[in-house]
C-alpha cells in the first residue's frame, strides 16, 4: 500500500434512500426477532457539497426486524438489503454463498445488482476488501463495471481509492476485479503509465490532460485526483498497464471455459507477476483439452529458474479452478515405491502413499498433481508414471482397485532446462519481455517451447517426453517485473505489521500502518540491489526483509514503553531521500 492517509473530509452521499426503500425480492414474513443490541450509528462530518469521502452508508434494519441468518433463505425471499447489512457486520464469507444457494439464479441475478442508498450492492461487497467475497458476488451475477448513482464513480476506481479510508491496500480486490473483466478505461492513463512512475510526480493534474474529459473518466474530478494518485500502488499500476497490451478472451473461449466450470482460469495472468506467456500457454492448452476431450490426461512441464512462478502458477490453477492440488517433493524419490507406496502383499502396502491415496480419492475427477524438482528423480520413478500419463489409468496399491486419473492435470517442474532458457533470453533479450506485438511474442515463446521439448527428450528419454503435452518456459524477470515482485513482499509486510498484537501469543509487532512513498522508486532500488536470477523471487523477498522489515522492527523496538495488545495504531513511513537513500521512520498520526 502506498499513500493511504485521508486527505479530504468525509460526507454522506446526497439524499440516501431509507433502508426500507431498498429493493427486495419475494420477502416473506420474518422469523421471531433475535435479542441483539442495535449497532451504534456514526455521526457524519460535514463537508463541501458534492464531494464524497469514499465511505458507504450503513445499511440498517428496521426496529422490529430480526438479525440476518443465512438459513432464513429457507423461509424468506431473497433480500439484498438484509444480506448487505450482515456483510457490513462480521458475517463470514462462506455464509454469503450459503444464503445465495437457497435461491434460483434468476432471483439472485435480479437482486444482486440492486442499488442500496444510491450505491449498487456490489460496492458493499468490494468495501469488505475481501477478494473471495467479490469473486462470489460476481460469480452470482454482480456487475464488475457498476457505477454509483450519486457521484458516478466506477466500481474499479472505488476499489482502488477506498484504501484511503481503510488504511490498508486493496490490491487483491482490484486484481480480482481485473481478472473478472473490469473496464480499465475508467482510470486515466496518467495515473499508471509508465507503471514504474509515482503518480504524484505528475501533479498538478490540469487541463493539459484531455483524457479527463472522456466520458468514462468524467468522474475523476479535481478533488478525486489526489486520492487516486496516492492510493494507486505499483502492483495495481503494473496490471493496469499490462491489461492494455493483452487481448481479452474471445466469446468462444469464454463459452468453453464456462461450460467446463473454468471461467476463473481465463484471468490467471492477473495473479502472476511476469510469466504472461506461460499463463497464456496454460490457458490455451487447457481450453483446447476442454473443447476436444481426450482419454489421456493433460501432462505439462514447467521449466525455468527457481523462484520465477512455477509453483505459484500451479497453486493458482488449483485455487481458481477449485481443484485439489497434491504437491510432491521429488528431491528424495529414488524408487517408484517412494512415490506410490509398496504393492500388495509387501509390508506397508495398506498405507499407500500421499499420492496414491490422493489419486484414489479423486478417481474420475479433475485434480492437479505437481511434481516439484522432477529432474532429481530416477528412471525407476519416471517409468512408474508412463501408464498414468499415457492411459490415464492407475491401480491403488492398497487393494488393487482400478483408479481413473484421465482427468488429472500432471505438472512436472524442473530446472534441468534452465541453460536453454537463459541462452534464449540472452539471444532475444530485446524481445522476450516485449508483449506489444502479441503475435510475434507468441511465435517467440512457441519457438522456445519447441527447443525445450527437444532437450526434454535428451534429458528424460523418449518414453517420458513423448507423453508430455506442453513444455511451458518460465523466463527471468524484467527490471520492471523485479520491482513489482519486490512490491508484493512489501504488501505482505504491510499486512503482517497491521495485524493485532497478542502479547500472550508472542505476537509483539502489530498495529502499524506502514506507508510506502515512491513505491516505484523504492522497489526499483531494492530490485537492483537484491535480484538474483538464479533465486528469483526468493532473492527479492530477502532484500525486502533486509532493507525494510529489519529496519522497521528495529525502529519499533527502540520505542520506550511496554507492548500492549490494544496500544494505539502507529504510523511508519518508508521513503527515499533526494540522494536516493532508503529510510524507515516513525511519523505523526
Domain match, 462 and 484 both: no
* Residue 177 shares a structural domain with residue 204: yes
Give residue-wise pLDDT tens across range 253-263. 999 999 999 99
Q: Is the pLDDT of residue 56 over 50?
A: yes
**CA 228 to CA 194: how far, in whole Å?**
16
Instruction: Say which range, 46-55, 177-186, 385-394, 524-533, has the weakest mean pLDDT.
Output: 46-55
Residue 155 lies in a domain: yes
If asked whether residues 221 and 298 sit together in one domain, one would say no
**Is the Cα dihedral 495, 498, 503, 504 positive or negative?**
negative
Calculate the CA dihedral of residues 444, 448, 450, 453 and round it to 10 degrees. -160
Look at residue 349 and tell me if it is in a domain: yes
Q: Is residue 274 part of a domain?
A: no
Strand-pair category, 325-329 with 470-473: unpaired
Angle ∠(177,178,184) on CA atoms, nearest 5 = 115
In a domain, 542, yes or no: yes
Do 394 and 486 have their domain in common? no
Residue 433: per-residue pLDDT? 82
d(CA 490, CA 157): 22
pLDDT of 295: 87
Residue 318 lies in a domain: yes
- What cell does 488 get? 508484493
Mean pLDDT to the nearest integer, 106-133: 96
Q: Quote the number of domains for the chain.
A: 3
Same domain, 101 and 218: yes
Q: Which of 422, 438, 473 is the last residue of a domain?
A: 473
pLDDT in tens, 440-498: 888 899 999 999 999 999 999 999 999 999 999 999 999 999 999 999 999 999 999 99
Buried b (16+ CB within 10 A) or exposed e, 557-574: eeeeeeeeeeeeebbbbb
Q: Angle CA(393)–CA(396)–CA(398) in degrees, nearest 5?
A: 170
The verdict on residue 272 lying in a domain is no
Residue 414 belongs to domain with CATH number: 3.40.50.300
469 and 483 assigned to the same domain: no
Residue 281, in any domain of the structure = no
Closest CA to 267 of 286, 294, 292, 290: 286
Residue 1: inside a domain: no
Q: How far is 81 from 60, CA to CA, in rounded Å?
A: 8
Mean per-residue pLDDT, 143-170: 96
Question: Tens digit of pLDDT for each residue in 405-451?
Answer: 999 999 999 999 999 999 999 998 878 887 777 778 888 999 999 99
- Range of 319's domain? 291-473
In the structure, what pLDDT confidence band is assigned to residue 40 with cuts at 50, 70 and 90? very low
pTM for this prediction: 0.88
Name the pLDDT band for 206 (thresholds 50, 70, 90). low
CATH number of the domain encompassing residue 74: 1.25.40.20
Amino acid at each position: 500500500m502506498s499513500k493511504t492517509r485521508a486527505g479530504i473530509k468525509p460526507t454522506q452521499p446526497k439524499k440516501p434512500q431509507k433502508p426500507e426503500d431498498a429493493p427486495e425480492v419475494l420477502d416473506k414474513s420474518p422469523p421471531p426477532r433475535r435479542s441483539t443490541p442495535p449497532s451504534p450509528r456514526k455521526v457524519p462530518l460535514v463537508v463541501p457539497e458534492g464531494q464524497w469521502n469514499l465511505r458507504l452508508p450503513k445499511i440498517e434494519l428496521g426496529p422490529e426486524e430480526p438479525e440476518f441468518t443465512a438459513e432464513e433463505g429457507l423461509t424468506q425471499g431473497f433480500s439484498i438489503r438484509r444480506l448487505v447489512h450482515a456483510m457490513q457486520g462480521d458475517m463470514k464469507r462462506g455464509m454469503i454463498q450459503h444464503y445465495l444457494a437457497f435461491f434460483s439464479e434468476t432471483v439472485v441475478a435480479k437482486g444482486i445488482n440492486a442499488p442500496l442508498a444510491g450505491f449498487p450492492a456490489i460496492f458493499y461487497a468490494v468495501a469488505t476488501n475481501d477478494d473471495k467475497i467479490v469473486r462470489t458476488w460476481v460469480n452470482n451475477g454482480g456487475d464488475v463495471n457498476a457505477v454509483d448513482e450519486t457521484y458516478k464513480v466506477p466500481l474499479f476506481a472505488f476499489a482502488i481509492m477506498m484504501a484511503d479510508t481503510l488504511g490498508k491496500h486493496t490490491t487483491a480486490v482490484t486484481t480480482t476485479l481485473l481478472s473478472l473483466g473490469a473496464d480499465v478505461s475508467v482510470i486515466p492513463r496518467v495515473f499508471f503509465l509508465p507503471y514504474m512512475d509515482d503518480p504524484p510526480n505528475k501533479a498538478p493534474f490540469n487541463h493539459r490532460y484531455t483524457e479527463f474529459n472522456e466520458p468514462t473518466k468524467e468522474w475523476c474530478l479535481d478533488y478525486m485526483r489526489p486520492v487516486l494518485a496516492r492510493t494507486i500502488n505499483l502492483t495495481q499500476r503494473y496490471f493496469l498497464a499490462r491489461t492494455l497490451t493483452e487481448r481479452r478472451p474471445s466469446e468462444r473461449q469464454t463459452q468453453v471455459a464456462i461450460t467446463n466450470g473454468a471461467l476463473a482460469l481465463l484471468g490467471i495472468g492477473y495473479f502472476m507477476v511476469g510469466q504472461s506467456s506461460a499463463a497464456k500457454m496454460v490457458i490455451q492448452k487447457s481450453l483446447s483439452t476442454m473443447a476436444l476431450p481426450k482419454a489421456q490426461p493433460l501432462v505439462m512441464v514447467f521449466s525455468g529458474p527457481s523462484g520465477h512462478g512455477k509453483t505459484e502458477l500451479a497453486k493458482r490453477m488449483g485455487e481458481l479452478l477449485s481443484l485439489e492440488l497434491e504437491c510432491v517433493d521429488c528431491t528424495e524419490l529414488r524408487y517408484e515405491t517412494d512415490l506410490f507406496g509398496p504393492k500388495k502383499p509387501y509390508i506397508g502396502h495398506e498405507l499407500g502413499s500421499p499420492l496414491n491415496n490422493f489419486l484414489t480419492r479423486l478417481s474420475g475427477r479433475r485434480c492437479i498433481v505437481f511434481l516439484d524438482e522432477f529432474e532429481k528423480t530416477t528412471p525407476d520413478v519416471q517409468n512408474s508414471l508412463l501408464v498414468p500419463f499415457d492411459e490415464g489409468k492407475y491401480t491403488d496399491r492398497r487393494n488393487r482397485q482400478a483408479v481413473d486419473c484421465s482427468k488429472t492435470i500432471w505438472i512436472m517442474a524442473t530446472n534441468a532446462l534452465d541453460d536453454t532458457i537463459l541462452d534464449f533470453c540472452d539471444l532475444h533479450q530485446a524481445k522476450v519481455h516485449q508483449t506489444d506485438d502479441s503475435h510475434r511474442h507468441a511465435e517467440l515463446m512457441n519457438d522456445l517451447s519447441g527447443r525445450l521439448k527437444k532437450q526434454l527428450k535428451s534429458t528424460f528419454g523418449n518414453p517420458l517426453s513423448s507423453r508430455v503435452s506442453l513444455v511451458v518456459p518460465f523466463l527471468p524477470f524484467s527490471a520492471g517485473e523485479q520491482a513489482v515482485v519486490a512490491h508484493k513482499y512489501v504488501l505482505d509486510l504491510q499486512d503482517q505489521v497491521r495485524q493485532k498484537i497478542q502479547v500472550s501469543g508472542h505476537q509483539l509487532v502489530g498495529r502499524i500502518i506502514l506507508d510506502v512513498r515512491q513505491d516505484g522508486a523504492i522497489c526499483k532500488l531494492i530490485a537492483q540491489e537484491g535480484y538474483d536470477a538464479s533465486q528469483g523471487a526468493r532473492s527479492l523477498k530477502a532484500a525486502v526483509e533486509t532493507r525494510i522489515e529489519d529496519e522497521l522492527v528495529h525502529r519499533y523496538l527502540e520505542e520506550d514503553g511496554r507492548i500492549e495488545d490494544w496500544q494505539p495504531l502507529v504510523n511508519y513511513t518508508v521513503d527515499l531521500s533526494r540522494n536516493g537513500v532508503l529510510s524507515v521512520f516513525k511519523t505523526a498520526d
